[in-house]
């Protein structure tokens, strides 16, 4: 039996949400960013990709570890690829049937750009791209309504990136929020105003030919259902029958009626039902083909989507404008009709908003499947991160266990073994091997912190401690010797790292060119976890 299936992008979004929520939920996980490896790669300028084996990740990852810092909830954010609004660029309009809007996997990127970030740090979604035209006017505003710019693009404001979000904004990614409570922002207002299953756009797929339209102000108004068109209207009887009359501005604007009779000699048009607000001679009207939208909304007639043809240049239907967007559609189609001898061949596609409506859930609407972690390592972090050695590995660990058996909870953790020494007779060399004269234990030197002015006593921090084969570690009163420097010291105590080796899960690791640190230096460690 042949079977075909697909893991949807919603499953990837679900995984990203679960990971994001695990930082703050009741039974939370504790994540740590760690640094490690003081020794050089074969080519430090082009480090190799880590090999995903137990030995390389789970064993060597711990042996090379120097220090770790906990990732707080405030250090995490959903992120999506960043696309800056750029003048004279053609953007993709949103469509509920476009399979290319979102990346197909964690290792691919979308080949369409249907949202933008402006220089004002506002994020907008493209609702209508003016039939594939170029955007030449930057979208502005943070209201709930879809806005039309002078280039005939239509945009939906989604959210703003605030100063507090800047740590998650770089040249490749930008943050996206999921608000569950009112924080007073424009985004929350947009979320609340979103309409589920609304129709904000009808895309013309074929223009057709021979369609009629006319626009002007009324010459006179007989009553609420009989009006006289202006002198530019046709003088042919019934030519506008079955077309629609839309009041585009002025008294009574926004109303749509169907023409049922037209007397050409007097340009008198009768509509199918009386206007609730009777127009006057200052009201601007548009007569054009009838737009018929059929779908599964299940709402009352008053709540259904309606539209009018805004442009029939050259007898072709070029643009449809929504009057009301309707509610609760999941499928719909559109047809165009007018006088049977006046126009044919136009087709269009109804574009339905995502569940919840445009702006209701930006994390989902933008296809978010990435979470960024941004952890700032400030100087020596309470004497935990060394400032006189470099590192080449950065990783992410979950729920490491302390030697007492509990899950680690401290904000920073020193993961070096510490040898308290006396009688040190000079400076040890960075990264050299230190050997115990009696125990035979060996370790890689990381840093030294003196406890007297003469620098003959202090704490030697080491990694990659290995025993002599029978479990012996550095012992009190023995002499240690540096393999490169030849310097010696006497051991007072030996303390193993705070976190028990090989506990917790190393979820991510990457090799980098060496990062040299200083006591006042900060490292902004950013990891993008892709699902």
Residue-wise pLDDT tens for the chain (531 aa)?
Answer: 787 787 788 899 999 999 999 999 888 899 999 999 999 999 999 999 999 999 988 899 999 999 999 999 999 999 999 999 999 999 999 999 998 888 777 666 666 799 999 999 999 999 999 999 999 999 999 999 999 999 999 999 999 999 989 999 999 999 998 888 899 899 999 999 999 999 999 999 999 999 999 999 999 999 999 999 999 999 999 999 999 999 999 999 999 999 999 999 999 999 999 999 999 999 999 999 999 999 998 777 777 899 999 888 889 999 999 999 999 999 999 999 988 778 899 999 999 999 999 999 999 999 999 999 999 998 888 889 988 889 999 999 999 999 989 999 999 999 999 999 999 999 999 999 999 999 999 999 999 999 999 999 999 999 999 887 777 789 999 999 999 999 999 999 999 999 998 999 999 999 999 998 878 888 889 999 998
Q: Given this model, what pLDDT does residue 111 score?
A: 61
Using only C-alpha atoms, the chain has a radius of gyration, in whole angstroms, of 34
Neighbours of 531 (CB within 10 A): 18
Q: Given this model, what pLDDT does residue 375 score?
A: 95
Q: Given this model, what pLDDT does residue 108 score?
A: 66
| Contact by Cβ (8 Å): 443, 417 | yes
Question: Which stretches of 139-225 are assigned E, i.e. beta strand?
Answer: 147-148, 154-160, 173-176, 199-209, 214-217, 220-221
Cβ-proximal residues to 526 (8 Å cutoff; 6+ apart), any chain: 170, 372, 373, 374
Which string of DSSP letters, residue by residue, matches 7-42?
A: --HHHHHHHHHHHHHTTTSTT---EEEEEE--SPPS
| Contact by Cβ (8 Å): 490, 484 | no
* Among 127, 157, 155, CA closest to 144: 157
Q: Given this model, what pLDDT does residue 190 score?
A: 96
Cβ-proximal residues to 178 (8 Å cutoff; 6+ apart), any chain: 17, 78, 361, 362, 363
Which strands, in side-by-side order, build the sheet including 122-128?
A: 115-117, 122-128, 154-160, 147-148
Q: How far is CA 260 from CA 197, 242, 268, 304, in A?
A: 31, 6, 11, 22
In this structure, what DSSP letter does residue 311 have? E
| Max CA pair span of the chain | 118
Long-range contacts of 142-146 (CB under 8 A, 24+ apart): 142/186, 142/190, 143/186, 144/189, 144/190, 144/193, 144/359, 146/200, 146/358
Neighbours of 140 (CB within 10 A): 14
Q: Given this model, what pLDDT does residue 4 score?
A: 75
| Contact by Cβ (8 Å): 394, 509 | yes
**Cα(436)–Cα(456) distance, rounded to whole angstroms?**
18
**Cα(239)–Cα(259) distance, rounded to whole angstroms?**
10
Task: Return the H-helix or E-strand segment holding 412.
Answer: strand 412-414
**Cα(502)–Cα(60) distance, rounded to whole angstroms?**
9
Task: Return the H-helix or E-strand segment holding 332.
Answer: strand 332-337
Task: Mark 302-327 as b/e (b = at least 16 C-beta within 10 Å).
Answer: eebbbbbbbbbeeebbbbbbbbebbb
Structure tokens at 177: 């929020």
Task: Return the H-helix or E-strand segment holding 190.
Answer: helix 186-193
| Contact by Cβ (8 Å): 441, 435 | yes
* Among 70, 68, 79, 69, CA closest to 166: 79
Q: Given this model, what pLDDT does residue 121 score?
A: 96
Q: How far is CA 473 from CA 66, 123, 288, in A?
A: 19, 58, 90
Is pTM, for the whole model, over 0.85?
yes
Q: Give me the phi and psi of 529, to 5 degrees please.
A: -90, 120
| Contact by Cβ (8 Å): 67, 385 | yes
Q: Give me the phi and psi of 17, to 5 degrees please.
A: -65, -40
């Amino acid at each position: 039996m042949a079977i075909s299936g697909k893991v949807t992008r919603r499953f990837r979004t679900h995984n990203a949400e679960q990971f994001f929520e695990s930082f703050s939920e009741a039974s939370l996980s504790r994540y740590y960013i760690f640094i490690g490896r003081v020794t050089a790669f074969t080519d430090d300028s082009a480090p190799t990709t880590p090999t995903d084996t137990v030995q390389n990740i789970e064993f060597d990852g711990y042996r090379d570890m120097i220090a770790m810092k906990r990732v707080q909830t405030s250090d995490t954010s959903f992120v999506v690829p960043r696309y800056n609004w750029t003048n004279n660029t053609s953007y993709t309009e949103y469509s509920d049937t476009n399979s290319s809007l979102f990346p197909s996997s964690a290792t691919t990127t979308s080949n369409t750009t249907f949202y933008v970030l402006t220089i004002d740090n506002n994020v907008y979604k493209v609702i209508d791209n003016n039939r594939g035209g170029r955007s030449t006017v930057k979208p502005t505003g943070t209201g709930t309504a879809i806005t039309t710019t002078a280039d005939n693009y239509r945009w939906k404001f989604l959210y703003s990136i605030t100063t507090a979000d800047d740590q998650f904004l770089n040249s490749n990614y930008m943050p996206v929020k999921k608000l569950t409570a009112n924080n007073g922002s424009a985004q929350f207002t947009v979320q609340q105003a979103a309409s589920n299953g609304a129709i904000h756009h009808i895309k013309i797929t074929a223009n057709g030919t021979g369609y009629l339209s006319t626009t002007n102000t009324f010459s006179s108004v007989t009553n609420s259902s009989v009006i006289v068109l202006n002198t530019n209207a046709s003088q042919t009887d019934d030519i506008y029958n079955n077309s629609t009359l839309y009041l585009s501005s002025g008294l009574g604007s926004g109303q749509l009626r169907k023409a049922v009779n037209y007397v050409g000699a007097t340009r008198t048009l009768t509509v199918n039902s009386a206007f609730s607000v009777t127009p006057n001679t200052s009201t601007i009207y548009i007569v054009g083909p009838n737009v018929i939208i059929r779908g599964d909304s299940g709402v009352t007639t008053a709540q259904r989507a309606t539209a009018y043809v805004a442009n029939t240049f050259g007898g072709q239907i070029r643009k449809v404008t929504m009057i009301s967007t309707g509610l609760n559609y999941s499928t719909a189609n559109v047809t165009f009709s007018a006088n049977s001898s006046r126009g044919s061949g136009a087709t269009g596609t109804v574009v339905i908003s995502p569940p919840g409506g445009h702006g209701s859930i930006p994390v989902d609407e933008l296809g978010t499947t990435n979470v960024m972690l941004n952890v700032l390592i400030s100087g020596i972090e309470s004497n935990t991160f060394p400032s006189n050695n470099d590192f080449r590995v950065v990783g992410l660990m979950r729920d490491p266990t302390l030697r007492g058996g509990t899950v680690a909870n401290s904000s920073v953790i020193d993961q070096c073994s510490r040898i308290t020494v006396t009688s040190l007779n000079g400076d040890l060399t960075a990264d050299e091997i230190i050997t115990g004269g009696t125990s035979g234990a060996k370790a890689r030197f990381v840093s030294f912190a003196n406890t007297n002015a003469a620098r003959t006593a202090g704490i030697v921090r080491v990694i990659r401690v290995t025993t002599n084969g029978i479990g012996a570690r550095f012992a009190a009163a023995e002499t240690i010797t540096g393999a490169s420097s030849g310097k010696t010291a006497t051991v007072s105590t030996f303390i193993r790292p705070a976190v028990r080796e090989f506990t917790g899960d190393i979820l991510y690791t990457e090799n980098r060119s060496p990062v040299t640190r200083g006591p006042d230096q900060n490292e902004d460690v950013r990891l993008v976890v892709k699902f």
